Structure 1
Amino acid sequence: MRSSRTLRLKTRLTTLVTGVAAAAALLLAAPASHAADTPLRDLGAAKGKIVGTAVTGSKLTGTYGDVAAAQFSSLTPGNAMKWGSVEPARGAFDWAEADRIVAFAQAHSQQVRGHTLVWHNQNPNWLTNGSWTPAQLGDLLQNHIATEVGRYKGRIAAWDVVNEAFNEDGTYRPTLWYNGLGADYIANALTWARAADPAAKLYINDYNVEGVNAKSTALYNLVRSLKQRGVPIDGVGLQAHLVLGQVPATLQQNIQRFADLGVDVAITELDIRMTLPSDGAKLDRQKADYKAVTAACVAVARCVNLTVWGFTDSDSWVEGTFPGEGAATPYDGNYAPKPAYYGIAEALGGTTAPPPTGGCKAVYSVGSQWNTGFTGNVTISCSGASLSSWKATWTYGAGQQITQAWSADCTQSGPAVTCANASYNGTVPDGGSVSFGFNANWSGSNPAPTVTLG
């Protein structure tokens, strides 16, 4: 994972001037946490939709926490509520991270989507390596559901009760649960969850079921059968781990057919990955894809929730799972909104457009200073975007005058400074940076200016 960049200033300024310059430089480096005039959660509310994100509980501080709180109306624990996390040893429970997420959500007027009670992955070794009779296995599952759902009774809006029950051809996936209990493990799990919290909405969740295909049709037939049998089932989760340019053409049709069964639909784990490195064309395509998925949900009244599987590339599972692919979320690793963010916002009725430089920024700093002069530096970096040329402009507020520059072509007219790339450093790749420097005169004070990148 990429970590946030830390700006270090080496300077011989006086204490006052150092403080001013450092504060200004850090301000320039700060991410745009609130990207649109209207946050996604408010845009969604106006359309009757919950807009959520998966989160890592231990990261819910600082900028990560600020963005999660400001932009989203629902949180899904990425891993904290899975069986292997909450009961790593039989009878020994660890609720710390799950509790942290629930408490954060309550403090910020957010829903929580519980994920997930019954799955074939991320189970503890004591469970998967055990030798269980069907009766014992059923008791273990019922007790687990009763314990976890019961702990959060009244605090979880919806549960992904059963996760990934089907193979691609629509047959049941052979798992610990299916092999040991048969297909009715699904109905039993839903029934036990309803008993533990009658108010929580209960979902079946799966991937590659976004469009109409054999797998989604098997899920459709199961939900129809459960409804006919009176088994408690409130919704279907379409994970939507998608590939750039491959949003299913039948997505809205598929959402509608589930809704017509009398259940809600949620896009539960949306991300759209691309082959790295990203570039402007890929990011534009990703924006269109995010917009298309959101629009399909907006078009169907019973599509009630759109959740992205991590909002920032620094907290995404994709790069660790699909080598050579990534950049799958709406924010880059430095918490700057990507075009994808605006795709979601526009589909929800927002009108804010992304800045023309996307995920690229310029940071101004002072390296050293003496009685009449100083050395300055500007670093241009990109994350989730790239540049083939650049121009940095700023206006000095205290009469500073550039006398010499290197690695850039700089001109100054009065207080206005324009610095363009040299012939050899115009390209800034996604994840890369370039720097240029200059000497300048000053007198009295030397406040750092705001740099605009074009």
Structure 2
Amino acid sequence: MRRLRIILAVVTLLTGLNCSKSDEAKKAEPPVPDPPATEETSLRKALPFPFGAAVNINLLKTRVAYRDLVVREYNSLTPENAMKASVIHPQQNTYNWADADYLVDFAKQNNKRVHGHTLIWYKSLPSWITEFQGDAAAWDNLFKTHIQTIVTHFKGKVASWDVVNEAIADDGTLRPCIWLEKIGPDYIAKAFQYAHEADPDALLFYNDYGHEYGPTKRGAILDLINDLKNRHIPVHGIGLQMHTRYNMADNNLANAINTVAQTGLKIHIAELDIAINPDNLQALTFSPALAEQQSQKYKFIVKTYNALPANQKFGITTWNVGDADSWIPGTYNRPDWPLPFDGDYKKKPAYQGILDGVK
């Protein structure tokens, strides 16, 4: 009996020791970490340069899906229309700041850059400008006051400006316009000087379309820019609008981007969209094959742009957000799908094409 008690005591002791060691081992095991939090990919986070959109202020105010997508995907905003002369300066002594101020405030709240568009353009002019009567000095005062009032209002809030937009015609000559007629060919240089005086810290761009269509207009734009540089006019960058199409030759696109980069100035692909229906086919539908071709074109443009020196990459901006918001269908009276998001703000293959361009 005594032997049995001894055996039971030993068994109990050993069991206790084993349990103690097991408990200690469990305590010594490192805790299993929680799986890392995943965050949805966004263009503004995935790309190594700013990626922006021209935005419709009314949609930004009233359409939740539009607003949410702008917040998620972009880190640079351009007003589609809110800073054009007919909107922001409708009468000689009246400035309509409401929509432009809304955009600037929205950008500040959401940590986004604002690129101003546009101070001087041959279109979107209010009647008080087109009907203005005055001598050369009066016209110069009108011109200077318009530019400097707007730039001063947004000083420190708008990082950069399209100072002059589309001053070169398709044949390479200076485009006929009221500014050329009333102020003379030096209106372009004066615009940059006046803008710089109003905000010396703002980056100033010349913006135009058609760089990719051939050397005639592109060469004229480069001649203009080089002349401004040689005269020490404060021009800091070139905007390539890049309203292009899915079947544009890659060589044309590469020449457009790389040639202007030779100026050493900052390069902004400023109004990018890629039309799928340049032939205005009324019965065309958006097919997977067309979507893939568009995606590859976005990829090529982004890849070519990303190869530029880092200090020249001001960013890429698409002209609006979703296909239903694009200017192209209404302007050309045709179906088209030129942007990275569809009419419901869902990602298209073009979205992945943009991401693939920096891989």
TM-score, structure 1 as length reference: 0.67
> Does 1:39 find its partner at 2:39?
no
1:42-61 correspondence runs (5 A): 42-44=45-47, 47=48, 49-61=49-61
1:249 partner SS: helix
User: Residue 318 of structure 1 aligns to which amino acid in structure 2?
Assistant: I
* Residue in 1 that maps onto 2:3: none
> Does 1:245 find its partner at 2:253?
no
* Residue in 2 that maps onto 1:74: 76
* Residue in 1 that maps onto 2:15: none
Compute the displacement of 1:299 (Å): 1.0
Compute the displacement of 1:94 (Å): 0.9
User: 1 CA distance for matches of 2:265 and 2:106?
Assistant: 29
- Alpha-carbon deviations, 1:31-52, whole Å to 9, x = none? xxxxx932101122xx2x1100
> Does 1:309 find its partner at 2:296?
no
User: Residue 51 of structure 2 aligns to which amino acid in structure 1?
Assistant: V
Aligned residues of 2:192 and 2:234 also touching (Cα < 8 A) = yes
1:165 partner SS: coil
Which one of the candidate residues 265, 278, 284 is aligned to 2:267?
265
1:301-450 correspondence runs (5 A): 301=309, 302-349=312-359
User: 2 CA distance for matches of 1:314 and 1:132?
Assistant: 43
Compute the displacement of 1:278 (Å): 1.3
1:222-301 correspondence runs (5 A): 222-275=224-277, 276-301=284-309
1:139-288 correspondence runs (5 A): 139-210=141-212, 212-275=214-277, 276-288=284-296
Compute the displacement of 1:334 (Å): 0.6
- Alpha-carbon deviations, 1:113-135, whole Å to 9, x = none? 10000001111011112233222
Compute the displacement of 1:247 (Å): 4.7
* Residue in 2 that maps onto 1:92: 94
Compare the two structures and name the one with the higher strand fraction: 1
- Alpha-carbon deviations, 1:124-169, whole Å to 9, x = none? 0111122332221111110011100000001111100000001111
User: Residue 246 of structure 2 aligns to which amino acid in structure 1?
Assistant: L
* Residue in 2 that maps onto 1:22: none
2:211 partner SS: coil
User: 2 CA distance for matches of 1:160 and 1:248?
Assistant: 26
Aligned residues of 1:226 and 1:233 also touching (Cα < 8 A) = yes
Moved more, 193-202 or 247-256: 247-256
CA 1:217–1:190 in structure 2 vs 1: closer, same or farther (change >3 Å)? same
- Alpha-carbon deviations, 1:51-95, whole Å to 9, x = none? 000001122251111110110010000000000001112211111
CA 1:85–1:338 in structure 2 vs 1: closer, same or farther (change >3 Å)? same
Aligned residues of 2:50 and 2:315 also touching (Cα < 8 A) = yes
User: Residue 38 of structure 1 aligns to which amino acid in structure 2?
Assistant: T
2:180 partner SS: helix
Aligned residues of 2:250 and 2:300 also touching (Cα < 8 A) = no
User: 2 CA distance for matches of 1:247 and 1:230?
Assistant: 35
Number of residue pairs matched by the alignment: 311
Compare the two structures and name the one with the higher helix fraction: 2
User: 2 CA distance for matches of 1:65 and 1:37?
Assistant: 17
Aligned residues of 2:204 and 2:237 also touching (Cα < 8 A) = yes
Structure 1, unpaired ranges of 5+ = 1-35, 350-454
User: 1 CA distance for matches of 2:131 and 2:285?
Assistant: 41
Moved more, 140-149 or 240-249: 240-249
User: 2 CA distance for matches of 1:155 and 1:118?
Assistant: 19
User: Residue 321 of structure 1 aligns to which amino acid in structure 2?
Assistant: T
1:314 partner SS: helix
Moved more, 202-211 or 155-164: 202-211
User: Residue 346 of structure 2 aligns to which amino acid in structure 1?
Assistant: A
User: 2 CA distance for matches of 1:251 and 1:235?
Assistant: 18
Instruction: Report % sequence identity.
Output: 38
- The higher radius of gyration belongs to 2
CA 1:148–1:248 in structure 2 vs 1: closer, same or farther (change >3 Å)? farther
Compute the displacement of 1:257 (Å): 3.0
User: 2 CA distance for matches of 1:157 and 1:289?
Assistant: 29
User: 2 CA distance for matches of 1:167 and 1:248?
Assistant: 23
